[in-house]
């Protein structure tokens, strides 16, 4: 009879035979004097784990109701609307605090939301009159014009970051009655409708005590921002019920939501679900597994290309692909040589193969950007701007870039076009003054932060080297990168992006106007062009949309001619949902995670 190899010396002494291993194990398991303490511990732990497996898999779930489970990649940081700067907090708060106007999902036009109708504009008095629809706060009290006035005054008094710039030209707000708010502007402002009137409105009753307390402190703004809000009083479709930190947030539907059973933008609104549970996942891998396992119904973040094939095979999983209002680009430091020379910038723009970046780096999951406004923002996007590398082969791009630089007085140790006219590797580019071009860096975020930008920097480096430019891609931590670009302004070029651009194009003015070329200013590249400044200032005050459109288009043309930036791509937003429980997702620019979806989703 063969002996079982048993790993424990004491068992060996009992001569357990091969044909009775189970008998031996049982004998030893139930005979405590033969089991050493360590084994007892091991048996205990394994038994406990088995119990829990049973507990976890066999016990019926206590869950019921039409609750949608949404996965987030990070936990929201705060429910204080004024402090919330991270995407996660804003996603949740957007479901509670509402604005006077909102974007129609199809036309992207601003339509009344808390407001009853379009604002009345009085050109002589320079006022806007907004009438409120009947609406209640989640505590059952009425939303009145006093709440709107209070919100505006609060923002102006405390200079609340991210909001103050949108209200600074509002001189005063009057409330002739409970349903009417009159805004007096210092001067006509095109962004008033799209930026000011899309500010979330807060309840005066909730915030006036907090404001009063903050006023009495040494640092009123910080006191206001640091105020902990546990249960925001909002007017939106959902209201906070419970936030168990580190685990989940539970929002239930707001019975007082003004849109319930209303037809707005041709859509009958709910919400029709009982609530939302936001679960946090530390990694995309875990979230995708949870989605595949039906632990969540929707993962509210972009799906990286690497997961797509797997998800496509999944049963009851649907993928949505939408454009974002985003721009990822290469920027130059126009404040100092050599990139203060427009010819050099145009040559660099010519050398960048955007098609390659799109197909190879982003695996086709992006739209090419030819202008600084995404094409999805149809009304404001100018399709007729100077194109640089479009449709050219790499050799053609090098020839064109060589031509630009040659005509501008650049020379080489070894030119990229040989005497026989063939394209060769260029070496030692010299500036028009005869000096050798010094090594310069292309700063990018690190690969673990954004692999696409990091890779884009690398490939651009190679294309520039091919013509003799001593480029060097340098990934660095995002905080350090921002500090170099926005604060110390000590850089040559960078690859950065705006992941969520406003649908109002006023940012084009902010990003390239010379007025904003300052420390922490919006004008990162230091671009200075008085002609651009003039048109940009005019666009800010142009109240006629068609006139404003012409100005915005002209601004884009100037930018793409002077090339302080090279627009690269706009990544597509791929999102995934499970289909067996809910239906009715509304697709629009910036994805399906929008208010319309949450107000229209229905249980199957």
Partner 1 sequence: MELRRYIIRRLYQVAVIFFVILTVLFLLFRLAPGDPVSRMVDPDMTPEEAELLISELGLDKPLWIQYVYFVKNFFTGNFGHSFNYGQPVVSIILDRLPNTIILFTTSVILAALVGVFFGKIASWEKGSKKDVWMTIVALASHTVFVPWLALILIWIFAYKLGWFPITGMISEEVWLDPDSGPLAKLLDIIYHMILPLTTLFLIHFGSYLLIMRTSMLETLNEDYILTARAKGLTEKVVRNHHAAPNAALPVVTTVGLNLAFSINGGALTETVFTWPGIGRELVFSVSNNDYPLAQACFLLIALVVLVANLVVDIIYAFLDPRIRY
DSSP letters for 308-352:
HHHHHHSTTEEEEEE--S-EEEEEE-TTSSSTT-HHHHHHHHHH-
Residue 286 binding partner 1, by CB under 8 A: yes
Residue placing its CB nearer to partner 1 in the complex, 150 or 281: 281
Query: Which among 215-223, 307-315, 533-541, 573-581 is the span making contact with partner 1, rule CB under 8 A?
Result: 215-223
Residue 26 binding partner 1, by CB under 8 A: no
Residue placing its CB nearer to partner 1 in the complex, 17 or 164: 164
Residue 231 binding partner 1, by CB under 8 A: no
Query: Which among 302-310, 340-348, 395-403, 520-528 is the span making contact with partner 1, rule CB under 8 A?
Result: 520-528
User: Which of 1, 22, 30, 62 is close enough to bind partner 1 by CB under 8 A?
Assistant: 62
Residue 509 binding partner 1, by CB under 8 A: no
User: Which of 23, 247, 337, 425 is close enough to bind partner 1 by CB under 8 A?
Assistant: 247
529-558 mask for partner 1 (x: CB under 8 A)? ------------------------------
- C-alpha to C-alpha distance for 573 and 567, rounded to whole angstroms: 18
Closest distance between partner 1 and the C-beta of residue 276, in Å? 11
Total residues at interface with partner 1 (CB under 8 A)? 79
Residue placing its CB nearer to partner 1 in the complex, 1 or 519: 519
Nearest to 565 by CA among 514, 515, 507, 526: 526
User: Which of 17, 43, 125, 289 is close enough to bind partner 1 by CB under 8 A?
Assistant: 289
User: Which of 13, 283, 407, 433 is close enough to bind partner 1 by CB under 8 A?
Assistant: 283
Residue 77 binding partner 1, by CB under 8 A: yes
Closest distance between partner 1 and the C-beta of residue 70, in Å? 12
Residue 315 binding partner 1, by CB under 8 A: no
Closest distance between partner 1 and the C-beta of residue 331, in Å? 14
Q: Are the beta carbons of 190 and 541 closer than 8 angstroms? A: yes
Residue placing its CB nearer to partner 1 in the complex, 283 or 433: 283
Closest distance between partner 1 and the C-beta of residue 24, in Å? 18
Q: Measuring CA to CA, how many Å separate 499 from each of 2, 376, 535, 598?
A: 68, 14, 26, 22
Residue placing its CB nearer to partner 1 in the complex, 18 or 247: 247
Residue 306 binding partner 1, by CB under 8 A: no
Residue placing its CB nearer to partner 1 in the complex, 26 or 45: 45
Q: Computed from CA positions of residues 263, 266, 270, 272, in that sequence, does the dihedral angle turn out positive or negative?
A: positive
Residue 312 binding partner 1, by CB under 8 A: no
Closest distance between partner 1 and the C-beta of residue 478, in Å? 8
Query: Which among 110-118, 127-135, 380-388, 483-491 is the span making contact with partner 1, rule CB under 8 A?
Result: 483-491
Q: DSSP E strands: which ranges in 419-532?
A: 427-430, 440-444, 471-475, 493-498
CA dihedral 28, 32, 36, 42 (to 10 degrees): 80
Closest distance between partner 1 and the C-beta of residue 167, in Å? 11
- C-alpha to C-alpha distance for 175 and 194, rounded to whole angstroms: 21
Query: Which among 244-252, 303-311, 315-323, 419-427 is the span making contact with partner 1, rule CB under 8 A?
Result: 244-252
- C-alpha to C-alpha distance for 182 and 197, rounded to whole angstroms: 12
Residue placing its CB nearer to partner 1 in the complex, 290 or 319: 290
- C-alpha to C-alpha distance for 221 and 201, rounded to whole angstroms: 18
Q: What is the DSSP letter of 167?
A: H
Query: Which among 14-22, 283-291, 335-343, 417-425 is the span making contact with partner 1, rule CB under 8 A?
Result: 283-291
Residue 21 binding partner 1, by CB under 8 A: no
Q: What b/e sequence results for 326-359 when a residue is b if at least 16 CB atoms lie within 10 Å of its CB, and e otherwise?
A: bbbbbbbbbeeebbbbbbbbbbbbbbbbbeebbe
Residue 434 binding partner 1, by CB under 8 A: no
Q: Which of residues 34-53 bind partner 1 (CB under 8 A)?
A: 38, 41-42, 45, 49, 52-53
Residues in the chain: 604
Residue 378 binding partner 1, by CB under 8 A: no
User: Which of 111, 221, 408, 424 is close enough to bind partner 1 by CB under 8 A?
Assistant: 221
**DSSP H or E segment with residue 250:** strand 248-253
Pinpoint the alpha helices (H) of 13-107. Answer: 21-30, 37-58, 87-94
Residue 603 binding partner 1, by CB under 8 A: no
Query: Which among 254-262, 279-287, 539-547, 560-568 is the span making contact with partner 1, rule CB under 8 A?
Result: 279-287
Query: Which among 129-137, 355-363, 399-407, 481-489 is the span making contact with partner 1, rule CB under 8 A?
Result: 481-489
Nearest to 428 by CA among 381, 468, 388: 468
Closest distance between partner 1 and the C-beta of residue 215, in Å? 14
- C-alpha to C-alpha distance for 266 and 367, rounded to whole angstroms: 30
Q: What b/e sequence results for 176-194 when a residue is b if at least 16 CB atoms lie within 10 Å of its CB, and e otherwise?
A: eeebbbbbebeeebbbbbb
Query: Which among 75-83, 339-347, 458-466, 544-552 is the span making contact with partner 1, rule CB under 8 A?
Result: 75-83
Nearest to 514 by CA among 493, 496, 534, 541: 534
Q: Exposed, middle or buried by CB within 10 Å (0-12, 13-18, 19+), for 552?
A: buried
Q: Which of residues 437-466 bind partner 1 (CB under 8 A)?
A: none
CA dihedral 123, 128, 129, 134 (to 10 degrees): 150
- C-alpha to C-alpha distance for 280 and 457, rounded to whole angstroms: 32
Residue 128 binding partner 1, by CB under 8 A: no
Rounded to the nearest 5°, which phi and psi values hold at 312? -65, -30
């Amino acid at each position: 009879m063969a002996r079982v190899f048993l790993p424990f010396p004491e068992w060996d002494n009992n001569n357990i035979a091969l044909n009775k291993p189970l008998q031996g194990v049982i004998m030893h398991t139930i005979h405590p004097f033969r089991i050493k303490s360590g084994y007892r511990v091991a048996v205990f732990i394994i038994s406990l784990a088995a119990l829990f497996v049973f507990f976890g898999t066999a016990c019926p779930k206590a869950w019921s109701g039409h609750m949608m489970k949404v996965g987030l990649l990070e936990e929201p940081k705060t429910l204080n609307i004024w402090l919330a700067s991270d995407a996660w907090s804003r996603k949740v708060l957007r479901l509670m605090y509402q604005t006077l106007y909102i974007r129609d999902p199809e036309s992207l036009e601003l339509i009344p939301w808390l407001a009853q109708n379009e604002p009345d504009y009085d050109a002589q008095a320079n006022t806007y009159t907004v009438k409120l629809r009947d609406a209640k706060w989640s505590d059952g009290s009425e939303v009145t014009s006093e709440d709107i006035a209070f919100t505006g005054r609060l923002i102006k008094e405390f200079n609340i970051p991210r909001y103050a710039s949108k209200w600074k030209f509002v001189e005063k707000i009057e409330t002739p009655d409970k349903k009417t708010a009159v805004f007096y502007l210092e001067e006509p402002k095109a962004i008033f409708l799209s930026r000011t009137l899309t500010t979330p409105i807060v309840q005066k009753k909730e915030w006036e005590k907090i404001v009063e307390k903050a006023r009495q402190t040494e640092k009123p703004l910080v006191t206001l921002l640091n105020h902990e809000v546990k249960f925001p009083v909002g007017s939106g479709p959902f209201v906070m019920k419970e936030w168990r930190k580190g685990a989940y947030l539970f929002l239930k539907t707001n019975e007082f939501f003004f849109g319930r059973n209303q037809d707005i933008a041709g859509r009958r609104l709910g919400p029709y679900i009982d609530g939302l549970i936001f679960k946090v996942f530390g990694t995309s891998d875990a979230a995708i597994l949870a989605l595949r396992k039906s632990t969540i119904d929707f993962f509210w973040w972009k799906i990286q290309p690497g997961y797509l094939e797997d998800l496509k095979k999944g049963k009851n999983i649907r993928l949505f692909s939408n454009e974002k209002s985003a721009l990822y680009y290469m920027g130059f430091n126009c404040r100092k040589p050599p990139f203060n020379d427009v010819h050099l910038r145009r040559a660099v723009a010519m050398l960048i193969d955007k098609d390659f970046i799109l197909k190879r780096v982003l695996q086709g999951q992006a739209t090419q950007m030819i202008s600084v406004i995404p094409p999805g923002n149809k009304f404001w996007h100018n399709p007729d701007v100077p194109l640089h590398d479009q449709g050219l082969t790499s050799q053609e791009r090098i020839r064109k870039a060589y031509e630009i630089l040659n005509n501008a007085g650049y020379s080489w140790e070894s030119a990229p076009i040989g005497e026989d006219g063939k394209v060769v590797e260029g070496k030692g580019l010299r500036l028009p003054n005869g000096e050798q071009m010094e090594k310069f860096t292309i700063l990018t975020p690190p690969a673990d932060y954004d692999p696409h930008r990091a890779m884009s920097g690398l490939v651009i480096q190679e294309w520039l080297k091919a013509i003799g430019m001593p480029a060097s891609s340098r990934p660095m931590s995002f905080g350090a990168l921002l500090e170099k670009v926005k604060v110390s302004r000590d850089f040559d070029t960078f690859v950065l992006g705006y992941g969520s651009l406003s649908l109002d194009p006023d940012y084009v003015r902010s990003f390239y106007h010379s007025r904003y070329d300052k420390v922490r200013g919006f004008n990162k590249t230091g671009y200075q062009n008085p002609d651009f400044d003039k048109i940009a200032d005019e666009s800010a005050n142009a109240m006629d949309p068609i006139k404003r459109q012409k100005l915005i288009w002209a601004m884009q043309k100037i930018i793409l001619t002077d090339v302080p930036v090279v627009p690269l791509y706009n990544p597509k937003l791929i999102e995934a949902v499970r289909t067996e429980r809910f239906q009715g997702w509304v697709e629009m620019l910036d994805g399906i995670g929008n208010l319309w979806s949450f107000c229209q989703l229905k249980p199957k």
